[in-house]
Amino acid sequence: MGHRFRCHIKDLRLLVWPACAMRKEVFCLDSRTRRLAYLGLLIALSVVLTRFASVRIALLGVEGIRIGFGGFPIIMAGVLYGPLAGAAVGAIADVVGFAMSPMGPYMPHFTLTSALTGALPALFISAARTKAGAPPSLGLLLGAITFGQTITSVLLVPYFLQSLFGMPWQVILPPRLISQAVSIPAYALLLHLLLRRVPGLAPRWETAAAARGPSDAGR
Protein backbone atom coordinates (compact mmCIF):
# COMPACT_ATOMS: atom_id res chain seq x y z
CA MET A 1 0.00 0.00 0.00
CA GLY A 2 2.82 2.39 0.94
CA HIS A 3 4.70 1.54 -2.27
CA ARG A 4 1.62 2.27 -4.40
CA PHE A 5 1.08 5.58 -2.59
CA ARG A 6 4.69 6.63 -3.24
CA CYS A 7 4.27 5.73 -6.91
CA HIS A 8 1.14 7.89 -7.16
CA ILE A 9 2.97 10.81 -5.56
CA LYS A 10 5.83 10.40 -8.05
CA ASP A 11 3.41 10.31 -10.98
CA LEU A 12 1.71 13.46 -9.70
CA ARG A 13 5.03 15.32 -9.53
CA LEU A 14 5.80 14.33 -13.09
CA LEU A 15 2.43 15.62 -14.26
CA VAL A 16 2.67 18.91 -12.41
CA TRP A 17 6.11 19.92 -13.65
CA PRO A 18 8.29 18.96 -16.68
CA ALA A 19 10.66 16.09 -15.95
CA CYS A 20 14.31 16.91 -15.47
CA ALA A 21 17.25 15.15 -17.10
CA MET A 22 17.44 12.62 -14.22
CA ARG A 23 13.92 11.41 -15.10
CA LYS A 24 14.27 11.51 -18.86
CA GLU A 25 14.02 7.74 -19.17
CA VAL A 26 10.62 7.89 -17.43
CA PHE A 27 9.15 11.07 -18.91
CA CYS A 28 10.68 12.30 -22.16
CA LEU A 29 10.66 16.08 -22.57
CA ASP A 30 11.54 15.83 -26.24
CA SER A 31 8.16 14.35 -27.08
CA ARG A 32 5.88 16.83 -28.85
CA THR A 33 2.85 15.19 -27.25
CA ARG A 34 4.27 15.64 -23.76
CA ARG A 35 5.18 19.24 -24.47
CA LEU A 36 1.69 20.00 -25.77
CA ALA A 37 0.27 18.41 -22.64
CA TYR A 38 2.37 20.69 -20.43
CA LEU A 39 1.36 23.76 -22.42
CA GLY A 40 -2.28 22.70 -22.13
CA LEU A 41 -1.84 22.38 -18.38
CA LEU A 42 -0.38 25.91 -18.21
CA ILE A 43 -3.30 27.23 -20.29
CA ALA A 44 -5.80 25.65 -17.90
CA LEU A 45 -3.91 26.97 -14.88
CA SER A 46 -3.86 30.49 -16.33
CA VAL A 47 -7.60 30.40 -17.05
CA VAL A 48 -8.41 29.28 -13.51
CA LEU A 49 -6.09 31.79 -11.85
CA THR A 50 -7.23 34.65 -14.08
CA ARG A 51 -10.97 34.12 -14.29
CA PHE A 52 -11.83 32.39 -11.03
CA ALA A 53 -9.00 33.14 -8.57
CA SER A 54 -8.43 36.84 -9.22
CA VAL A 55 -10.01 40.07 -8.08
CA ARG A 56 -11.78 41.47 -11.16
CA ILE A 57 -13.25 44.96 -10.96
CA ALA A 58 -15.60 46.18 -13.68
CA LEU A 59 -15.40 49.78 -14.85
CA LEU A 60 -17.95 51.14 -17.33
CA GLY A 61 -19.26 47.63 -17.97
CA VAL A 62 -15.90 46.02 -18.81
CA GLU A 63 -13.07 44.54 -16.77
CA GLY A 64 -10.90 47.52 -15.86
CA ILE A 65 -8.77 46.17 -13.01
CA ARG A 66 -7.58 42.61 -12.40
CA ILE A 67 -5.44 41.54 -9.44
CA GLY A 68 -4.16 37.97 -9.44
CA PHE A 69 -1.53 35.51 -10.63
CA GLY A 70 -3.03 34.45 -13.95
CA GLY A 71 -0.05 35.79 -15.87
CA PHE A 72 2.43 33.50 -14.12
CA PRO A 73 1.68 30.30 -16.12
CA ILE A 74 1.87 32.32 -19.34
CA ILE A 75 5.28 33.72 -18.42
CA MET A 76 6.42 30.27 -17.32
CA ALA A 77 5.46 28.82 -20.70
CA GLY A 78 7.54 31.45 -22.49
CA VAL A 79 10.59 31.03 -20.26
CA LEU A 80 10.56 27.22 -20.49
CA TYR A 81 9.48 26.65 -24.08
CA GLY A 82 10.22 29.86 -25.95
CA PRO A 83 8.50 33.03 -27.15
CA LEU A 84 6.15 31.30 -29.59
CA ALA A 85 4.96 28.87 -26.92
CA GLY A 86 4.47 31.70 -24.45
CA ALA A 87 2.51 33.72 -27.01
CA ALA A 88 0.32 30.72 -27.88
CA VAL A 89 -0.43 29.93 -24.23
CA GLY A 90 -1.27 33.57 -23.54
CA ALA A 91 -3.56 33.96 -26.55
CA ILE A 92 -5.39 30.66 -26.07
CA ALA A 93 -5.80 31.25 -22.32
CA ASP A 94 -7.37 34.66 -22.99
CA VAL A 95 -9.81 33.34 -25.60
CA VAL A 96 -10.81 30.29 -23.54
CA GLY A 97 -11.08 32.36 -20.37
CA PHE A 98 -13.31 34.92 -22.05
CA ALA A 99 -15.58 32.18 -23.39
CA MET A 100 -15.92 30.70 -19.89
CA SER A 101 -16.24 33.93 -17.88
CA PRO A 102 -16.74 37.05 -20.00
CA MET A 103 -16.85 40.55 -18.57
CA GLY A 104 -17.79 42.98 -21.32
CA PRO A 105 -17.36 42.46 -25.09
CA TYR A 106 -14.51 40.44 -26.56
CA MET A 107 -11.61 42.57 -27.76
CA PRO A 108 -8.66 41.03 -29.65
CA HIS A 109 -6.47 43.82 -28.27
CA PHE A 110 -6.35 42.04 -24.92
CA THR A 111 -5.62 38.70 -26.57
CA LEU A 112 -2.60 40.42 -28.10
CA THR A 113 -1.43 41.72 -24.73
CA SER A 114 -1.90 38.25 -23.22
CA ALA A 115 0.23 36.75 -26.01
CA LEU A 116 2.92 39.39 -25.45
CA THR A 117 2.88 38.55 -21.74
CA GLY A 118 4.32 35.15 -22.62
CA ALA A 119 6.56 36.20 -25.49
CA LEU A 120 8.32 39.35 -24.22
CA PRO A 121 10.07 37.90 -21.13
CA ALA A 122 11.32 34.97 -23.22
CA LEU A 123 12.66 37.33 -25.88
CA PHE A 124 14.34 39.45 -23.18
CA ILE A 125 16.04 36.38 -21.69
CA SER A 126 17.09 35.15 -25.12
CA ALA A 127 18.70 38.50 -25.95
CA ALA A 128 20.41 38.89 -22.57
CA ARG A 129 21.70 35.37 -21.96
CA THR A 130 25.35 34.53 -22.50
CA LYS A 131 25.23 30.93 -21.27
CA ALA A 132 22.61 28.74 -22.92
CA GLY A 133 21.05 25.83 -21.08
CA ALA A 134 21.53 27.10 -17.51
CA PRO A 135 18.60 28.43 -15.50
CA PRO A 136 18.40 32.23 -15.69
CA SER A 137 19.40 34.17 -12.60
CA LEU A 138 16.91 35.88 -10.33
CA GLY A 139 18.05 39.28 -11.57
CA LEU A 140 17.57 38.27 -15.20
CA LEU A 141 14.10 36.87 -14.47
CA LEU A 142 13.19 40.04 -12.60
CA GLY A 143 14.37 42.20 -15.49
CA ALA A 144 12.60 40.07 -18.10
CA ILE A 145 9.28 39.98 -16.25
CA THR A 146 9.48 43.70 -15.46
CA PHE A 147 10.11 44.40 -19.14
CA GLY A 148 7.16 42.31 -20.28
CA GLN A 149 4.68 43.42 -17.63
CA THR A 150 5.55 47.09 -18.06
CA ILE A 151 4.78 46.95 -21.77
CA THR A 152 1.62 44.85 -21.45
CA SER A 153 -0.06 45.49 -18.09
CA VAL A 154 1.18 49.01 -17.38
CA LEU A 155 1.20 50.53 -20.88
CA LEU A 156 -0.82 48.57 -23.45
CA VAL A 157 -3.81 47.47 -21.38
CA PRO A 158 -4.51 50.95 -19.93
CA TYR A 159 -4.01 52.44 -23.39
CA PHE A 160 -6.56 50.05 -24.91
CA LEU A 161 -9.02 50.63 -22.07
CA GLN A 162 -8.72 54.38 -22.51
CA SER A 163 -8.91 54.38 -26.31
CA LEU A 164 -11.67 51.76 -26.63
CA PHE A 165 -13.86 52.56 -23.63
CA GLY A 166 -12.81 56.05 -22.58
CA MET A 167 -11.54 55.01 -19.15
CA PRO A 168 -9.37 57.74 -17.61
CA TRP A 169 -5.72 56.90 -17.02
CA GLN A 170 -5.79 58.30 -13.50
CA VAL A 171 -8.39 55.70 -12.51
CA ILE A 172 -6.95 52.53 -14.05
CA LEU A 173 -3.19 53.14 -13.86
CA PRO A 174 -2.53 53.46 -10.07
CA PRO A 175 -4.09 50.06 -9.17
CA ARG A 176 -2.09 48.42 -11.96
CA LEU A 177 1.15 49.95 -10.72
CA ILE A 178 0.47 48.70 -7.21
CA SER A 179 -0.51 45.24 -8.48
CA GLN A 180 2.62 44.91 -10.63
CA ALA A 181 4.85 46.12 -7.80
CA VAL A 182 3.71 43.00 -5.92
CA SER A 183 3.27 40.46 -8.71
CA ILE A 184 6.51 41.09 -10.66
CA PRO A 185 8.87 40.23 -7.76
CA ALA A 186 6.58 37.34 -6.78
CA TYR A 187 6.61 35.93 -10.32
CA ALA A 188 10.38 36.25 -10.57
CA LEU A 189 11.08 34.69 -7.18
CA LEU A 190 8.65 31.79 -7.68
CA LEU A 191 9.99 31.00 -11.15
CA HIS A 192 13.58 31.26 -9.89
CA LEU A 193 12.86 28.82 -7.07
CA LEU A 194 11.19 26.35 -9.42
CA LEU A 195 14.07 26.48 -11.89
CA ARG A 196 16.64 26.01 -9.13
CA ARG A 197 14.81 23.36 -7.12
CA VAL A 198 14.18 21.01 -10.05
CA PRO A 199 17.62 19.62 -11.03
CA GLY A 200 18.43 19.73 -14.72
CA LEU A 201 15.45 21.91 -15.60
CA ALA A 202 16.40 24.44 -18.28
CA PRO A 203 14.49 26.28 -20.98
CA ARG A 204 13.97 23.63 -23.66
CA TRP A 205 14.35 26.06 -26.56
CA GLU A 206 17.75 27.22 -25.27
CA THR A 207 18.88 23.65 -24.70
CA ALA A 208 17.90 22.75 -28.25
CA ALA A 209 19.78 25.76 -29.63
CA ALA A 210 22.87 24.80 -27.66
CA ALA A 211 22.66 21.23 -28.96
CA ARG A 212 22.56 22.45 -32.58
CA GLY A 213 25.73 24.45 -32.07
CA PRO A 214 26.74 27.96 -33.15
CA SER A 215 26.91 27.08 -36.85
CA ASP A 216 23.36 25.73 -36.95
CA ALA A 217 21.95 28.48 -34.74
CA GLY A 218 23.08 31.15 -37.17
CA ARG A 219 21.35 29.64 -40.17
- pLDDT-derived band at 122, boundaries 50, 70, 90: very high
The arithmetic mean of pLDDT across residues 46-50, rounded, is: 86
Q: Is residue 6 assigned to a domain?
A: no
pLDDT of 26 reads: 34
pLDDT of 94 reads: 92
Domain with residue 98: its CATH number is 1.10.1760.20
How many whole angstroms separate alpha carbon 208 and alpha carbon 203? 9
**84-93, 124-133, 146-155, 161-170, range with the lowest pLDDT:** 124-133
Helix 32-47, helix 83-100: angle, nearest 10: 40
Q: Is residue 80 assigned to a domain?
A: yes
**58-62, 153-157, 209-213, 214-218, range with the lowest pLDDT:** 214-218
Half-sphere exposure for 48 (CA within 13 Å, toward CB): 7
Q: Is residue 18 assigned to a domain?
A: no
The arithmetic mean of pLDDT across residues 85-112, rounded, is: 89
Q: Is residue 146 assigned to a domain?
A: yes
Q: Is residue 217 assigned to a domain?
A: no
The per-residue pLDDT for range 170-194, each reduced to its tens digit, is 777 887 888 888 889 999 999 999 8
The per-residue pLDDT for range 198-212, each reduced to its tens digit, is 655 555 545 544 555
Q: Is residue 143 assigned to a domain?
A: yes
Domain that holds residue 183: 24-198
**Domain tally for the chain?**
1
The arithmetic mean of pLDDT across residues 27-34, rounded, is: 58
More reliable by pLDDT, 170 or 71: 71
Q: The pTM is what?
A: 0.74
Mean pLDDT computed over every residue of the chain: 76
Q: Is residue 115 assigned to a domain?
A: yes
Q: Is residue 168 assigned to a domain?
A: yes
pLDDT of 203 reads: 54
More reliable by pLDDT, 124 or 34: 124
pLDDT at 79 exceeding the cut of 80? yes
